[in-house]
Amino acid sequence: MHSAIVNPKGTWWVPAHKSEKIWVAIAFAWCMVLFAMMPLWHFKGGQNPAGVRHKVVPATYMARVQEFAQQYQVGEDNGIPVVAPPAGSDVYLIGMQYTWYPVLRLSKGASYTLHLSSLDMNHGFSLYPLNINFMVVPGYDYGLRITPNQAGDSRVLCNEFCGIGHHTMLGRIVVVDGDNRAMPATPASAAATPAVPSAGGAQ
């Protein structure tokens, strides 16, 4: 029987054994190695996004995306413009509750600078079935230099919880073999009435 004022029987309060101290020292040293790896990886690691990034006002970015979409629109997919920019150009994609805008159609083997940003809050850019992930943050424009190396029809899933409609936030990036502007996804009549959400429309 023991209480708060009567010590229990045992040995846990005796000084640590030498081997225990060694293990604590090893664990601490390893912690320090991992701690040092964070700044080291920033400078030496290969995980930093290649390209340019700078601050941007979300509404300004949205206006830039709309301008881009109107400039290179070739069709429409469920009310979202299908945009086919020329090789070497700046390509804009914006995440917002609960849409990726616009639908991109790119050429395999061509290089682009893919700009990613958000209108409202953090979203996760996750290209399926390819395994490419990137966090999309409002206020920052990430210009990633990309060269699609395989043709296909991929979905952009949001992998960052962003609200009640998070699971419905689905976008699309199509990579075609050859000229991405050659074959419109929909009849020309659909392209005549671009659907453009207003900047700042999402709450």
**From the list 74, 84, 103, 158, which residue makes contact with ligand CUA (rule: CB under 6 A)?**
158
**Smaller CB distance to ligand CUA: residue 74 or 116?**
116
* 175 contributes a contact to ligand CUA by CB under 6 A: no
* 80 contributes a contact to ligand CUA by CB under 6 A: no
Alpha-carbon gap, residue 41 to 137, rounded angstroms: 22
Amino acid occupying residue 92? Y
* 94 contributes a contact to ligand CUA by CB under 6 A: no
- In the complex, minimum distance from the CB of residue 38 to ligand CUA, in angstroms, rounded to a whole number: 27
**Smaller CB distance to ligand CUA: residue 74 or 93?**
93
* 169 contributes a contact to ligand CUA by CB under 6 A: yes
Helical ranges in the chain per DSSP H? 18-44, 58-72, 188-191
* 172 contributes a contact to ligand CUA by CB under 6 A: no
* 160 contributes a contact to ligand CUA by CB under 6 A: yes
Alpha-carbon gap, residue 162 to 102, rounded angstroms: 19
Residue 53 region by backbone torsions, left for phi larger than 0, else alpha for psi between -120 and 50, else beta: beta
**Smaller CB distance to ligand CUA: residue 72 or 98?**
98
**Distance from the Cα of residue 16 to its chain's centroid:** 48
* 161 contributes a contact to ligand CUA by CB under 6 A: yes
Q: CA nearest 201: which of 1, 77, 11, 59?
A: 59
* 41 contributes a contact to ligand CUA by CB under 6 A: no
**Distance from the Cα of residue 142 to its chain's centroid:** 9
Q: CA nearest 171: which of 106, 107, 127?
A: 127
Going by C-beta distance under 8 Å and a sequence separation of 6 or more, which residues neighbour residue 149? Answer: 108, 109
Q: Which region, judged by CB under 6 A, interacts with ligand CUA, from 8-16, 109-117, 159-167, 183-191?
A: 159-167
* 28 contributes a contact to ligand CUA by CB under 6 A: no
**From the list 108, 155, 166, 181, which residue makes contact with ligand CUA (rule: CB under 6 A)?**
166
Interface residue list for ligand CUA (CB under 6 A): 95, 98, 123, 158, 160-162, 166, 169
